[in-house]
Amino acid sequence: MKNLSIVFALSTVFASAVLWAEPVTCLSPDGRAVVTFDLTAVGEPTYSFAFRGETVIAPSKLGFDIKALGADAFDGRKAADLRRDFVLTDVKRATADETWKPVWGEEKEIRDHHNELLVALVQKTTGRRMNVRFRVFDEGLGFRYEFPSEEDKGVARLVPGQQIVPQGQTQPLTHFTIVEERTRFNLPCDPLAWWIPADYETQEYRYTNSKVTEIPSLFKGAPDANLSTTLTPVPCVQTALMLKYPSGLLVNLHEAACVDYATMHLKVDGHDFESYLTPDATGAKGWLQTPCRSPWRTVICGAKGADILSSRLTLNLNEPCALADTSWIHPVKYVGVWWTMITGAKNWAYKPDPTMHAANTTNVIRHLDFAAEHGFDEVLVEGWNIGFEDWFGKEKDAVFDFVTPYPDFDLEGLNAYAKKKGVKLMMYHETSASTRNYERCLDAAYGLMKRLGYDSVKAGYVGNILPHGDHHYSQWSNNHYLYCIKEAAKRQIMVNQHEAVRPTGLCRTWPNLIGNESARGTEYESFGGNNPDHTTILPFTRLIGGPMDYTPGIFEADLSKVCSWKKQFISTTLCGQLALYVTMYSPLQMAADLPENYEKRLDAFQFIKDVPCDWDETRYLEAEIGDYLTIVRKAKGKDEWYMGSKCDENGHKAKITCDFLTSGKTYTATIYADAPEARYGGPTADRYVITKREVTRETVLDLVAQPGGGWAVSFK
């Protein structure tokens, strides 16, 4: 009773106290994007966002449901939410305009130009502080929550000298769990969405294109969703989510810098969304201690697809590179002992019949010779170490030790041979998703790599996360992935994580994270197929957070030629596969097919050999999500350009003016195009025509991609 009356007295006093004039706005540098912060009559924080005069986010609430920890947890007075009763106590503004150089990337320099607004809030019933930091860019918005340090606990103030809650009665926020983040994304309309269902364990879905309001009824029946037992219990979608408003405006929702925090899904509510974090084994969605902060929630806008693809907002919201020396980090083109296992022809596990075990010494030598002959940096060998024979689906804590080879894999000898050939072996760690086992073994595993000269590792997280009950995208798992990246960086090891969390631009801070899978990759061409438009969607969704190890380059579309019982064709043409080396940006690129499938088509293979995976400049010439995209890039430090175009099942005709080329210079263009009869998914998928011609910046090229196809051009 006594407490209640105190709360009542305080709210009447402070409801009338005008501390800061609301609403508060912040404009982008060009003045055409604007975020507005406001408080409702009951002190609920809200924001809205407009882009070039159009409402992108209508007024939407911000806040959290929380549970205090420690002694606080037993105090019934402690408020369980950070959603209402807030007053605005301070507003700070800043501007940034700086250009930074990524260690690798789509261009050599990136400009970060934004205006910043920090709103400092105090919950007047508790004295708890929560700030929201907004950064407004010409093309979008980022905002994050910040919980300041409570060193000065008990002295939360409205304005100097004016106490909100009397001394001794504040409820400082120190240790707490997140029950749910309650960030709303209220939309002014019912947009079209390119979405995959939210899942605690996987992102390996095909996309659905529907109105937002249709998502709940399609959720469980979405492609591949019937195979999952780990969908979110209520209909949610994964980010990066691509939306198209009825006006044509494109809007991308995602997050940046997800550090020490759970991954956010978006819960569908009519045509609106609300954040829905991934829980851990206890059901908690985060364990925080002040000072702390959330990842950035991001909104990227554009009139054209190219505007979304050219945005660097996600990288700009991440911290600068944390490494003093990055000279050891480099782009990697690789081949590997991989596709025969994915197609089902060979095994990861040791078989006494060496022809059935892909990682046998003879087969690896064959790949090392091939890599050396054709200029590849590395050879990936999966299934080299013991454990695969007693692993999948068995939910064992400790399966792999990451150091003991199978008897037919000559670990030392092959590394010596690779060195002689001027290539490296790429390490493979299947963690069996036993994150604790991997951490226990990490020092020995990385130690072996250092001793033998491996400089990169592909780490996989197949299966349910162990310890049991945890999830792939919980705060704990996210911390694990970053721990491995940091430990690898200490030892100058580059990392490519598969089945790990979807990226949020952390490769800016940790550029040794050269790749992630975290989406449905080429392997699914063997596991039931990808849709022909899949790679026209991924650049707008999965790639917004960082590069993908998509593993393109399948030349033999008829999988029965690789694995006799697999009666299936892949869902692109051969030239469509070539295009992916340009359209799916990654500093790590695999030529995923078998050496013999390249040796039969060395003229087309030349494009994969030539195409770099690090760039000075990139131009998005045309891009319609779900239909087609054409990108041209300038090779790092060279006057050479590479262009790729990928389309969906309908084919695409493009007219490209080569005005990106240096004026007054003539280049030799080598055009790798679908033959007129080339079609995805059938026996003509591998038909192509290669032509060479002299071109200048005045040349206009008419290029045709056949259904499920594409084309690629090198300009030298």
Question: Residue 216 Cβ, how far from Ca ion at the closest point, in Å?
Answer: 23
Nearer of residues 183 and 343 to ligand NOJ, judged by Cβ: 343
Query: Token pair for residue 11?
Result: 């709210």
Nearer of residues 433 and 658 to ligand NOJ, judged by Cβ: 433
Q: Which one of the listed residues 181, 201, 523, 556 is annotated catalytic? A: 523
Partner whose binding site includes residue 626, from Ca ion, ligand NOJ, none (CB under 5 to 8 Å by kind): Ca ion
Instruction: Give the type of residue at 213.
Output: T
Nearer of residues 201 and 517 to ligand NOJ, judged by Cβ: 517
Q: How many residues bind ligand NOJ (CB under 6 A)?
A: 8
Instruction: Give the type of residue at 634.
Output: K
Q: Give the 3-state secondary structure of residue 320.
A: coil
Inter-residue contact 308 to 300 (CB < 8 Å): yes
Angle at 117 between CA 111 and CA 119, to 5 degrees: 150
DSSP 8-class letter at 158: E
Question: Residue 242 Cβ, how far from ligand NOJ at the closest point, in Å?
Answer: 23
199 binds ligand NOJ (CB under 6 A): no
Nearer of residues 250 and 554 to ligand NOJ, judged by Cβ: 554
CA atoms within 13 A on the CB side of 108: 7
* x-or-dash string of contact with ligand NOJ, 520-559, rule CB under 6 A: ---x------------------------------------
Query: Minimal CA–CA distance to 81: which of 105, 96, 63?
Result: 63
Query: Token pair for residue 22?
Result: 């609301």
- List the beta bridge partners of residue 193: 210, 243
Inter-residue contact 477 to 439 (CB < 8 Å): no
Among the listed residues 455, 517, 533, 616, the single contact to Ca ion using CB under 5 A? 533
Question: Residue 513 Cβ, how far from ligand NOJ at the closest point, in Å?
Answer: 16
Question: Residue 388 Cβ, how far from ligand NOJ at the closest point, in Å?
Answer: 8
State how far the Cα of 249 lies from the Cα of 237, in Å rounded to an integer: 20
Nearer of residues 410 and 624 to Ca ion, judged by Cβ: 624
Partner whose binding site includes residue 460, from Ca ion, ligand NOJ, none (CB under 5 to 8 Å by kind): ligand NOJ
Contacts of 322 (CB under 8 A, 6+ apart): 489, 509, 510
Question: Residue 533 Cβ, how far from Ca ion at the closest point, in Å?
Answer: 5
State how far the Cα of 229 lies from the Cα of 225, in Å rounded to an integer: 8
Partner whose binding site includes residue 181, from ligand NOJ, Ca ion, none (CB under 5 to 8 Å by kind): none
Question: Residue 222 Cβ, how far from ligand NOJ at the closest point, in Å?
Answer: 21
Residues 320-339 that bind ligand NOJ (CB under 6 A): 338
State how far the Cα of 576 lies from the Cα of 708, in Å rounded to an integer: 7
State how far the Cα of 240 lies from the Cα of 225, in Å rounded to an integer: 18
Residues 446-505 that bind ligand NOJ (CB under 6 A): 460, 462, 498
User: Is 523 designated active site?
Assistant: yes
Nearer of residues 272 and 430 to ligand NOJ, judged by Cβ: 430
Residues 372-411 that bind ligand NOJ (CB under 6 A): 382
Q: Which burial class, exposed, middle or buried, applies to 664 when counting CB atoms under 10 A from its CB (0-12, 13-18, 19+)?
A: exposed
Question: Residue 235 Cβ, how far from ligand NOJ at the closest point, in Å?
Answer: 27
State how far the Cα of 482 lies from the Cα of 470, in Å rounded to an integer: 17
Inter-residue contact 369 to 375 (CB < 8 Å): no
Q: Which residue is nearest to ligand NOJ (CB)?
A: 498
Question: Residue 341 Cβ, how far from ligand NOJ at the closest point, in Å?
Answer: 6
Partner whose binding site includes residue 498, from ligand NOJ, Ca ion, none (CB under 5 to 8 Å by kind): ligand NOJ
CA distances from 119 to 21, 86, 133, 291 (A): 12, 11, 6, 16
Nearer of residues 191 and 503 to ligand NOJ, judged by Cβ: 503
* x-or-dash string of contact with Ca ion, 616-655, rule CB under 5 A: ----------xx--------------------x-------
State how far the Cα of 648 lies from the Cα of 212, in Å rounded to an integer: 22
Q: In 257-311, at which residue ranges do the beta strands (DSSP E only) sit?
A: 264-269, 272-277, 287-289, 292-293, 296-302
Partner whose binding site includes residue 533, from Ca ion, ligand NOJ, none (CB under 5 to 8 Å by kind): Ca ion
Q: Which burial class, exposed, middle or buried, applies to 270 when counting CB atoms under 10 A from its CB (0-12, 13-18, 19+)?
A: exposed
Nearer of residues 209 and 347 to Ca ion, judged by Cβ: 209
Catalytic residue numbers read 523
Chain residues in the site for Ca ion (CB under 5 A): 533, 626-627, 648
Chain residues in the site for ligand NOJ (CB under 6 A): 338, 382, 430, 460, 462, 498, 517, 523
